[in-house]
Copies of this chain bind each other. A is one copy, B any other.
C-alpha cells in the first residue's frame, strides 16, 4: 500500500474553537472531498482522526441532506445540492452580477480567457471564467482555486491588503515552476510595482507557458479604497506578455474600472 498523499488530520486544527462539534466535524468531512472525488468511511475516519463509526454516521447524515451522494458500494461524493447552494451563493453576489457583462465584452475585445477572482484565505477563488472562443490553445480549466502568491489576481489583491500579504507570507511562497517568485523580498517588490502600475502580471509562475495580467476592482471611500476582487486575462505567455501586452493591460484596467464604477453606483 502506497503512502497516502493525504494531509494528516485536519480536524484538530480548525475545529478547536467552534461549538457544535458534530457540525464542525461534518464540515471537515466535506473538506475531505476537495482532494478526492470519492471517499469511503475508513479513509475519512483516518484522515480526520475520528472513529470509523463516527465517519460512517457523518457520511450518512450528509448524504441524507443531499450534500453528499452515495456512489455505489459505500463510497460517497459531493452532492448536487452543493452545486445548487453554490450557484445561489454566487448569484446573490452583486459583484458578479455587475461584472458579468463587462467580462463578456472584455473577452470579445482581447480574445483570451478572462477571469474574475476574489481572495479566500490565502487562495484566489475564481468566481467566473469566460474561456476564449478561439481555437487556440486553451487554458486548463480544471481548477477554481489557486495559491494567491503565484497569481496575478492574488498579487493585485495582496497589494491593497496588508493582512492578506502577511497571511500569504506566513503560509509560505510555494514553488510551482522555476519562475515562481519564492523569495519574500522579491515577492513584496512585485506588490510595490503592482501598486505603482495599477496592475499586476504573473509570468510562468503557476503553469509554465501561461501568464496573466490583472487589475483591481476597488471599493470603499476614496480615502480607504481596497480591492475586493480583480479581473484578469490569462493565456500563453507569448500571447499575453508579448507585443499585445499594452493593449491587454489597457483592456483589463478599463474593465476593472468599469466594474468598480458599476459597483459604486449599485451600492449607493
B-contacting residues of A (Cβ < 8 Å)? 17-20, 22-24, 26-28, 30, 33-34, 37, 57-58, 60-62, 64-67, 77-92, 118, 120, 125, 127, 142, 144-145
21 cross-chain CB contacts under 8 A: A19-B57, A19-B60, A20-B57, A20-B60, A23-B26, A23-B62, A24-B64, A26-B26, A33-B88, A66-B120, A77-B89, A78-B88, A80-B127, A82-B82, A82-B85, A82-B88, A83-B87, A83-B90, A84-B144, A85-B85, A88-B144
- Stoichiometry, as copies per complex, reads 2
A85 touches B80 (CB 8 A): no
Q: A79's contact among B57, B64, B89, by CB below 8 Å, is which?
A: B89
The majority secondary structure among interface residues of chain A is helix
Contacts A80-B118, A125-B80; is A27 near B65 (CB within 8 Å)?
Answer: yes
A82 touches B89 (CB 8 A): yes
User: Which chain B residue lies CB-closest to A108?
Assistant: B133
A87 touches B88 (CB 8 A): no
